[in-house]
Structure 1
Amino acid sequence: MRLPLRYHFMLDERLGIRLPSLRLEWEEYTSSERDDILLAWEEIRATIPDQILRVETVIIDKTKQMSEEENFEVSCQLNSEIHELASVINDLNIWFRVQQDHETKMHQ
């Protein structure tokens, strides 16, 4: 009989990365499980700067399109898309700091 997963990482389509899905409080995981989670997260976390660069490239392209766009409605749509992409970058930056914040708390 297979036991249910106590944790896993699920792809967040909006952010383009896998995010942790923890079923227990951090302290309830064994030391080995915590090490495995942190190792997996560190590998994912290392991809975040590249993901931010990809999103920034799209923002730059959309900004250029918007500056050349004469149709007000299309320009507003592009502006909305840029706003959403900026929100994605903000969220990616927050997730990038998760490991760093956790390590800071453990050393205090």
Structure 2
Amino acid sequence: MSYRTIWTLPDGTPAPGLDLGTVKPGETKSIGRKLKNTGDQPLSAVQMTLVDNLPGVTVTVGGETLIPGQMHAAPGLAPGESLDVTYARTVPPDAEPGVFRVFIRIRALT
């Protein structure tokens, strides 16, 4: 009996997490991933919370936009099922160069 998830590309290929790479001032980038249940047990729900509230950041889970600080309960995932996650960032034109990080807390219920 195992509970396990991985990030995949839309075609199912294993992928890194939600990393946009370099986003220049005035630019918008987005990336899509799937959170796939690779275990042999169903997950009764997947809870995601956008921890940070950075301007220009949008995260959607299964078509629902996350609101910073509020937990979003996605449907359960049977073994082999996936949940679509899209992460986007619009950097203001006057932004100072630097690194930014956004944290999404993910919890799966068994």
| TM-score calculated relative to the size of structure 2 | 0.22
Question: Of the two structures, which has the highest relative contact order with CA contacts closer than 8 Å and spacing of 6 or more?
Answer: 2
Whose helix proportion is higher, 1 or 2? 1
Larger Rg: 1 or 2?
1
| TM-score calculated relative to the size of structure 1 | 0.23
